[in-house]
Protein backbone atom coordinates (compact mmCIF):
# COMPACT_ATOMS: atom_id res chain seq x y z
CA UNK A 1 0.00 0.00 0.00
CA UNK A 2 2.87 2.37 0.72
CA UNK A 3 3.93 2.16 -2.93
CA UNK A 4 0.50 3.42 -3.98
CA UNK A 5 0.53 6.29 -1.48
CA UNK A 6 3.96 7.37 -2.65
CA UNK A 7 2.74 7.18 -6.22
CA UNK A 8 -0.17 9.52 -5.48
CA UNK A 9 2.18 12.02 -3.89
CA UNK A 10 4.51 11.82 -6.88
CA UNK A 11 1.58 12.40 -9.23
CA UNK A 12 0.39 15.43 -7.28
CA UNK A 13 3.86 16.96 -6.94
CA UNK A 14 5.49 16.13 -10.29
CA UNK A 15 2.77 15.51 -12.85
CA UNK A 16 -0.52 17.20 -12.04
CA UNK A 17 0.91 20.70 -11.83
CA UNK A 18 2.52 20.51 -15.28
CA UNK A 19 -0.69 19.22 -16.87
CA UNK A 20 -3.33 21.34 -15.20
CA UNK A 21 -4.86 22.39 -18.51
CA UNK A 22 -5.60 18.76 -19.37
CA UNK A 23 -7.20 18.01 -16.03
CA UNK A 24 -9.26 21.21 -16.08
CA UNK A 25 -10.60 20.18 -19.48
CA UNK A 26 -11.37 16.67 -18.22
CA UNK A 27 -13.23 18.13 -15.24
CA UNK A 28 -15.74 19.63 -17.71
CA UNK A 29 -16.57 16.26 -19.28
CA UNK A 30 -15.25 13.35 -21.26
CA UNK A 31 -15.12 12.56 -24.96
CA UNK A 32 -13.37 9.18 -25.31
CA UNK A 33 -12.42 7.89 -28.73
CA UNK A 34 -13.16 4.24 -27.94
CA UNK A 35 -14.59 1.76 -25.47
CA UNK A 36 -11.76 -0.59 -24.50
CA UNK A 37 -12.92 -3.93 -23.04
CA UNK A 38 -10.16 -6.01 -21.54
CA UNK A 39 -9.17 -8.32 -18.70
CA UNK A 40 -8.68 -7.27 -15.08
CA UNK A 41 -5.21 -8.84 -15.18
CA UNK A 42 -2.74 -6.48 -13.49
CA UNK A 43 -0.29 -6.90 -16.36
CA UNK A 44 -2.59 -5.10 -18.81
CA UNK A 45 -2.51 -1.30 -18.95
CA UNK A 46 -4.75 -0.05 -21.80
CA UNK A 47 -3.44 3.52 -21.75
CA UNK A 48 0.18 2.37 -21.72
CA UNK A 49 -0.48 -0.15 -24.49
CA UNK A 50 -2.21 2.38 -26.75
CA UNK A 51 -0.17 5.39 -25.61
CA UNK A 52 -3.34 7.35 -24.85
CA UNK A 53 -4.06 10.12 -22.37
CA UNK A 54 -6.61 10.30 -19.55
CA UNK A 55 -9.98 10.86 -21.19
CA UNK A 56 -9.15 9.00 -24.41
CA UNK A 57 -10.45 5.55 -23.43
CA UNK A 58 -13.65 4.47 -21.71
CA UNK A 59 -12.48 1.23 -20.09
CA UNK A 60 -14.41 -1.88 -19.08
CA UNK A 61 -12.44 -4.59 -17.27
CA UNK A 62 -13.32 -7.95 -15.80
CA UNK A 63 -11.86 -11.44 -15.48
CA UNK A 64 -11.40 -12.83 -18.98
CA UNK A 65 -12.65 -9.74 -20.89
CA UNK A 66 -16.09 -11.33 -20.95
CA UNK A 67 -19.25 -9.68 -22.27
CA UNK A 68 -22.34 -11.59 -21.11
CA UNK A 69 -25.12 -11.73 -23.71
CA UNK A 70 -27.69 -8.99 -23.25
CA UNK A 71 -30.35 -9.94 -20.70
CA UNK A 72 -33.04 -7.25 -20.33
CA UNK A 73 -34.42 -8.80 -17.16
CA UNK A 74 -31.07 -8.76 -15.36
CA UNK A 75 -28.76 -6.15 -16.93
CA UNK A 76 -25.32 -6.09 -15.34
CA UNK A 77 -22.44 -3.68 -15.09
CA UNK A 78 -21.06 -4.70 -18.48
CA UNK A 79 -24.37 -3.93 -20.21
CA UNK A 80 -24.65 -0.57 -18.46
CA UNK A 81 -21.09 0.41 -19.37
CA UNK A 82 -21.56 -0.53 -23.04
CA UNK A 83 -24.88 1.28 -23.26
CA UNK A 84 -23.49 4.44 -21.65
CA UNK A 85 -20.42 4.43 -23.89
CA UNK A 86 -22.52 4.29 -27.04
CA UNK A 87 -25.61 6.30 -26.19
CA UNK A 88 -24.25 8.90 -23.78
CA UNK A 89 -20.67 9.27 -24.96
CA UNK A 90 -21.14 8.38 -28.62
CA UNK A 91 -18.01 6.27 -29.03
CA UNK A 92 -17.47 5.05 -32.58
CA UNK A 93 -15.11 2.14 -31.86
CA UNK A 94 -15.16 -0.77 -29.43
CA UNK A 95 -11.98 -2.78 -28.89
CA UNK A 96 -12.27 -6.14 -27.14
CA UNK A 97 -8.76 -7.15 -26.11
CA UNK A 98 -7.66 -10.52 -24.77
CA UNK A 99 -4.10 -11.31 -23.74
CA UNK A 100 -1.56 -14.08 -23.50
CA UNK A 101 -1.21 -16.12 -20.28
CA UNK A 102 -4.78 -15.31 -19.25
CA UNK A 103 -5.71 -17.07 -16.01
CA UNK A 104 -9.42 -16.96 -16.80
CA UNK A 105 -8.81 -18.78 -20.08
CA UNK A 106 -6.68 -21.35 -18.29
CA UNK A 107 -9.67 -21.88 -16.03
CA UNK A 108 -11.85 -22.64 -19.04
CA UNK A 109 -9.62 -25.40 -20.37
CA UNK A 110 -8.11 -26.74 -17.14
CA UNK A 111 -9.62 -27.64 -13.81
CA UNK A 112 -12.66 -25.76 -12.54
CA UNK A 113 -12.06 -23.01 -9.96
CA UNK A 114 -11.81 -24.26 -6.37
CA UNK A 115 -14.95 -24.53 -4.27
CA UNK A 116 -13.94 -21.42 -2.32
CA UNK A 117 -14.32 -19.31 -5.49
CA UNK A 118 -17.99 -19.81 -6.40
CA UNK A 119 -18.28 -16.35 -7.93
CA UNK A 120 -15.39 -17.09 -10.29
CA UNK A 121 -17.00 -20.39 -11.26
CA UNK A 122 -20.29 -18.64 -12.00
CA UNK A 123 -18.63 -15.86 -13.97
CA UNK A 124 -16.66 -18.23 -16.17
CA UNK A 125 -19.91 -19.89 -17.18
CA UNK A 126 -20.21 -16.96 -19.59
CA UNK A 127 -17.26 -18.55 -21.39
CA UNK A 128 -18.99 -21.88 -21.98
CA UNK A 129 -19.21 -21.21 -25.73
CA UNK A 130 -15.44 -20.86 -25.82
CA UNK A 131 -14.99 -24.01 -23.75
CA UNK A 132 -17.20 -26.00 -26.14
CA UNK A 133 -15.36 -24.67 -29.17
CA UNK A 134 -12.02 -25.72 -27.72
CA UNK A 135 -13.25 -29.23 -26.94
CA UNK A 136 -14.87 -29.68 -30.35
CA UNK A 137 -12.30 -28.11 -32.67
CA UNK A 138 -8.92 -27.95 -30.99
CA UNK A 139 -8.35 -31.40 -29.51
CA UNK A 140 -5.07 -31.68 -31.45
CA UNK A 141 -3.51 -28.72 -29.57
CA UNK A 142 -1.92 -28.66 -26.14
CA UNK A 143 -0.05 -26.41 -23.72
CA UNK A 144 0.78 -22.92 -25.01
CA UNK A 145 -0.82 -23.43 -28.42
CA UNK A 146 -4.07 -24.51 -26.79
CA UNK A 147 -4.10 -21.52 -24.45
CA UNK A 148 -3.37 -19.15 -27.34
CA UNK A 149 -6.27 -20.58 -29.32
CA UNK A 150 -8.52 -20.30 -26.27
CA UNK A 151 -7.65 -16.64 -25.79
CA UNK A 152 -8.42 -15.93 -29.44
CA UNK A 153 -11.64 -17.95 -29.62
CA UNK A 154 -12.84 -16.22 -26.47
CA UNK A 155 -12.34 -12.82 -28.07
CA UNK A 156 -14.46 -13.94 -31.02
CA UNK A 157 -17.14 -15.42 -28.76
CA UNK A 158 -17.34 -12.23 -26.71
CA UNK A 159 -17.62 -10.14 -29.88
CA UNK A 160 -20.67 -12.20 -30.77
CA UNK A 161 -22.11 -11.57 -27.30
CA UNK A 162 -21.37 -7.87 -27.74
CA UNK A 163 -23.57 -7.81 -30.84
CA UNK A 164 -26.57 -8.96 -28.78
CA UNK A 165 -26.63 -5.64 -26.91
CA UNK A 166 -29.26 -3.33 -28.42
CA UNK A 167 -27.04 -0.26 -28.28
CA UNK A 168 -24.38 -2.15 -30.24
CA UNK A 169 -26.70 -3.71 -32.81
CA UNK A 170 -28.41 -0.36 -33.40
CA UNK A 171 -25.11 1.47 -33.89
CA UNK A 172 -23.81 -1.25 -36.23
CA UNK A 173 -27.00 -1.14 -38.30
CA UNK A 174 -26.63 2.64 -38.64
CA UNK A 175 -22.93 2.27 -39.51
CA UNK A 176 -21.96 4.38 -36.52
CA UNK A 177 -19.76 1.79 -34.87
CA UNK A 178 -16.76 -0.40 -35.60
CA UNK A 179 -15.84 -3.32 -33.36
CA UNK A 180 -12.36 -4.81 -33.15
CA UNK A 181 -10.98 -8.03 -31.65
CA UNK A 182 -7.42 -7.75 -30.34
CA UNK A 183 -5.00 -10.05 -28.54
CA UNK A 184 -2.06 -8.55 -26.65
CA UNK A 185 1.05 -10.70 -26.24
CA UNK A 186 2.56 -9.66 -22.92
CA UNK A 187 6.04 -11.07 -23.48
CA UNK A 188 6.65 -9.33 -26.84
CA UNK A 189 4.41 -6.26 -26.71
CA UNK A 190 2.75 -7.34 -29.96
CA UNK A 191 -0.93 -6.73 -30.63
CA UNK A 192 -2.88 -8.94 -33.02
CA UNK A 193 -6.11 -7.83 -34.69
CA UNK A 194 -8.76 -10.22 -35.99
CA UNK A 195 -9.08 -10.01 -39.76
CA UNK A 196 -12.52 -11.31 -40.88
CA UNK A 197 -11.34 -11.80 -44.46
CA UNK A 198 -8.56 -14.22 -43.59
CA UNK A 199 -10.20 -15.56 -40.42
CA UNK A 200 -6.97 -14.99 -38.50
CA UNK A 201 -5.48 -12.74 -35.87
CA UNK A 202 -2.77 -10.75 -37.64
CA UNK A 203 -0.22 -8.22 -36.38
CA UNK A 204 -2.04 -4.93 -35.99
CA UNK A 205 -2.04 -3.10 -39.32
CA UNK A 206 -0.54 -5.97 -41.33
CA UNK A 207 -1.75 -7.89 -44.37
CA UNK A 208 -2.93 -11.49 -44.36
CA UNK A 209 -0.29 -14.19 -43.80
CA UNK A 210 -0.29 -17.99 -43.33
CA UNK A 211 -1.40 -19.34 -39.94
CA UNK A 212 1.29 -19.89 -37.34
CA UNK A 213 0.17 -23.44 -36.56
CA UNK A 214 -1.05 -26.23 -38.89
CA UNK A 215 -4.81 -26.54 -39.01
CA UNK A 216 -6.87 -29.67 -38.69
CA UNK A 217 -8.82 -30.60 -41.84
CA UNK A 218 -11.64 -28.13 -42.57
CA UNK A 219 -10.73 -26.08 -39.53
CA UNK A 220 -10.03 -22.39 -40.18
CA UNK A 221 -7.18 -21.39 -37.90
CA UNK A 222 -6.90 -18.14 -36.02
CA UNK A 223 -3.71 -18.67 -34.07
CA UNK A 224 -1.12 -15.98 -33.61
Query: What's the gap between Cα 101 and its chain centre?
Result: 14
Contacts of the segment 211-218: beta carbons below 8 A, 24+ positions apart: 213/141, 213/145, 216/137, 216/140
Question: For the ranges 18-27, 45-54, 69-78, 184-193, which has the lowest average pLDDT?
Answer: 69-78
142 has a pLDDT exceeding 60: yes
Domain ranges for the chain = 1-27, 31-193
Q: What is the mean pLDDT of residues 166-187?
A: 97
From residue 73, give the alpha-carbon distance in Å to each of 70, 79, 128, 131: 9, 12, 21, 26
Q: How far apart are CA 51 and CA 57, in angstroms?
A: 11
The pLDDT score that the predictor gives to residue 111 is 63
116 has a pLDDT exceeding 90: no
Closest CA to 181 of 40, 32, 198: 198
Contact 183, 174 (CB under 8 A): no
Q: What is the mean pLDDT of residues 50-61?
A: 97
Helix (H, G, I), strand (E, B) or coil at 127: helix
CATH of domain 31-193: 3.40.1050.10
The pLDDT score that the predictor gives to residue 207 is 55
For the stretch 59-108, pLDDT in tens is 999 999 999 999 988 878 999 999 999 999 999 999 999 999 999 999 98
35 has a pLDDT exceeding 90: yes
SS3 annotation, 72-107: CCCCCHHHHHHHHHHHCCCCCEEEEEEECCCHHHHH
Amino acid sequence: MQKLIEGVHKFQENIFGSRQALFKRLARGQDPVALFITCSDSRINPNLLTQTEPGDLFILRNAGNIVPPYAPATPGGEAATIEFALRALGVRDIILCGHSHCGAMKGLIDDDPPDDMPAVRSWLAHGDATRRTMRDKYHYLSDDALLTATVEENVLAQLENLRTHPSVSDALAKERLNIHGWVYKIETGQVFDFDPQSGQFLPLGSQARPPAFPAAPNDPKRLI
